[in-house]
Amino acid sequence: MTTLVPVLLSGGSGTRLWPLSREAYPKQFIPLIGEYSLLQQTALRLRGLPGADTPLVVANEEHRFVVAEQLRQVGANPAAILLEPMGRNTAPAIAVAALQAMAAGEDPVLLVLPSDHVIRDEAGFRAAVLAALPAAGQGALITFGIVPTAPETGYGYIKAAPAAGQDVRAVERFVEKPDLATAEAYLASGEYFWNSGMFAFRASRYLEELGKTHPAMVERAREALARGKRDSDFLRLDRESFAACPSDSIDYAVMEKTQAARVLPIDVGWNDVGSWSALWEVAEQDGDGNAHRGDVLAQDCRNTLALGDKRLVALLGLEDVVVVDTDDAVLVAHKDRVQQVKDIVSRLKQAERTQATWHRKVYRPWGSYDSVDNGTRFQVKRIVVKPGAALSLQMHHHRAEHWIVVSGTARVTCDDKVFTLSENQSTYIPLGSRHRLENPGKMPLELIEVQSGSYLGEDDIVRFEDQYGR
């Protein structure tokens, strides 16, 4: 049987789902539908396919600990987590995955999957993968085309060649996102399918076709992998080599140019959750078309999406509106305008507003911190340290810190002193002191940190030792 290696692409930033999805914690890590994140759902729907529990993962190096922890929670044990030092689009990401998959001398079929999609019919998806394997094993580059259910203008389309009775069909052409009239014509013809961004092909065949159009990309990807360094459970691609790699999507670099492109039409309840309106479509709705999560009170509303996990959100007399409430930002938008959320994110970045990148609650490999209050020369954080975890041995040039233990046990290093704090006990960390916070217990450590000083930015950290390699 053909060896199958799933490749999970987890490098996206998901700006269209701001403010819930942000650059430091994008949508693939968020449980938008159900109890599992989209990344976890992607891993779980592989169950029953060969290689399901040992995928290759390509991720942004800033997300490495979140990726590893979320996959661990669902029993996935990646064969490798390849870390991109910067984004270079999908073609180079898949190239390094293909090279890694062939490192042991095999030439498996890669099942390339974005990690931020929803698929309702998971059994149908797995059946489609198995149906694609023979053609992929024989050298075809297969893309999975979604049978359209509406004249969608937000997706690219694939026109399939006529092929009565055949599952895998030749590709006549790829087309860009159409206007409404064109999309309606595509839908009526029955010959066009949505471009899902999911693929199946032999690793060697992908590299062969990519080498015809982008030989420099293949060479830089090869260098980035060869010069990469192992770091715990991760393989860090070489920064200089990967930075020199041309940036391009697999569609432009390979699929639109190769003669070996094939499409397998599938109807499996697919949605790329690429906007708030797309999330509304797949979310559970009431009789008036309202999809609400959290503490939401609505009256005389229709076809609304509202997320309010932290506090009461009240809606009155609204139709086709999206309301998303987070700790530090609220989005209110008409469903017809949600594709423009990315423009809001661009404006935030231009203004150097932290809300473009960070949530108020920030996840770290040792736990998390929540910035609950701040003002001139002070900041208050709620810190949670996982059992057995430790922050780096560090110092600050511009701030002092006061720690108060709320629950659990803390082991504190402050210059040459090491001591233990229990619930309701506190300590002071003077400016310039070398210090470390550890949780030696079996329960989470929760504490309040009060920072004071002339500069309170996260870049005022000098690390001396760090078990996470930062």
Considering the domain boundaries, does residue 321 fall inside one? Answer: yes
Identify which has the larger pLDDT, 65 or 405.
Answer: 405
Q: Are 267 and 280 in the same domain? A: no
Residues 92-107, mean pLDDT to the nearest whole number: 94
CA distance 19 to 326: 7
pTM given for the model: 0.88
Smallest Cα–Cα separation from 237: which of 99, 102, 82? 82
Q: Are 248 and 286 in the same domain? A: no
Q: Are 175 and 282 in the same domain? A: no
Residue type, 420: T
pLDDT band at 401; cut points 50, 70, 90? very high
Q: Are 290 and 251 in the same domain? A: no
Structure-derived torsion over alpha carbons of residues 197, 53, 384, 232, reported in degrees to the nearest 10: -100
Q: Are 302 and 422 in the same domain? A: no
Residues 45-64, mean pLDDT to the nearest whole number: 92
Residues 67-86, mean pLDDT to the nearest whole number: 94
Reported as a single tens digit per residue, the pLDDT across 273-327 is: 989 999 999 999 999 999 999 999 999 999 999 999 789 999 999 999 999 999 9
- E strands in 305-459: 305-316, 321-325, 330-334, 361-364, 367-375, 378-385, 393-395, 399-407, 410-414, 417-421, 426-429, 435-438, 445-453
Q: Select from 271, 301, 331 the last residue of a domain.
A: 271
Q: Select from 235, 255, 271 the last residue of a domain.
A: 271
DSSP codes, 248-291: --HIIIIITT-TTEEEEEE-S-EE---SHHHHHHHS---TTS-E
Which residues have C-beta within 8 Å of that of residue 370, sequence separation ≥ 6?
Answer: 327, 360, 361, 362, 381, 382
Residue type, 56: L
CATH classification at residue 447: 2.60.120.10
Q: What per-residue string of b and e applies to 60-79 under the rule 16 or more CB within 10 Å gives b? A: bbebbbbbbebbeebebebb
Beta bridge partners of 8: 57, 113
CA distance 11 to 87: 7
What's the chain's average pLDDT? 93
DSSP codes, 195-207: EEEEEEEEHHHHH
Considering the domain boundaries, does residue 175 fall inside one? Answer: yes
Q: Are 310 and 408 in the same domain? A: no
Q: Select from 325, 348, 371 the last residue of a domain.
A: 348
Reported as a single tens digit per residue, the pLDDT across 148-162 is: 998 888 889 999 988
Q: Are 295 and 265 in the same domain? A: no
Q: Are 168 and 138 in contact (CB under 8 A)?
A: no
Which residues have C-beta within 8 Å of that of residue 282, sequence separation ≥ 6?
Answer: 33, 118, 120, 271, 273
Q: Are 329 and 404 in the same domain? A: no
> What's the token pair of residue 235?
């393989």
Domain that holds residue 162: 4-271
Considering the domain boundaries, does residue 39 fall inside one? Answer: yes
Q: Are 415 and 433 in contact (CB under 8 A)?
A: yes
Q: What per-residue string of b and e applies to 376-408 under the rule 16 or more CB within 10 Å gives b? A: eeebebbbbbbeebbbbbbbbeebebebbbeeb
Q: Are 48 and 68 in the same domain? A: yes
Distances from the Cα of 261 to the Cα of 92, 169, 354, 390, 467, angstroms: 18, 9, 42, 50, 46
**How confident is the model at residue 164, as a pLDDT?**
61
pLDDT band at 1; cut points 50, 70, 90? low
User: Can you tell me whether residue 221 is helix, strand or coil?
Assistant: helix
Q: Are 46 and 32 in the same domain? A: yes
Q: Are 308 and 402 in the same domain? A: no
Reported as a single tens digit per residue, the pLDDT across 175-194 is: 988 889 999 998 888 889 99
Considering the domain boundaries, does residue 160 fall inside one? Answer: yes
Smallest Cα–Cα separation from 193: which of 163, 160, 167? 160
**How confident is the model at residue 38, as a pLDDT?**
96
Smallest Cα–Cα separation from 204: which of 113, 138, 130? 138
Considering the domain boundaries, does residue 428 fall inside one? Answer: yes
Position 165 pLDDT exceeds 60: no
pLDDT band at 166; cut points 50, 70, 90? low
Residues 75-85, mean pLDDT to the nearest whole number: 94
CATH classification at residue 227: 3.90.550.10
Q: Are 25 and 39 in contact (CB under 8 A)?
A: no
Considering the domain boundaries, does residue 470 fall inside one? Answer: no
Considering the domain boundaries, does residue 355 fall inside one? Answer: no
Q: Are 11 and 137 in the same domain? A: yes
CA distance 103 to 364: 32
User: How many folded domains does the chain comprise?
Assistant: 3
Considering the domain boundaries, does residue 356 fall inside one? Answer: no
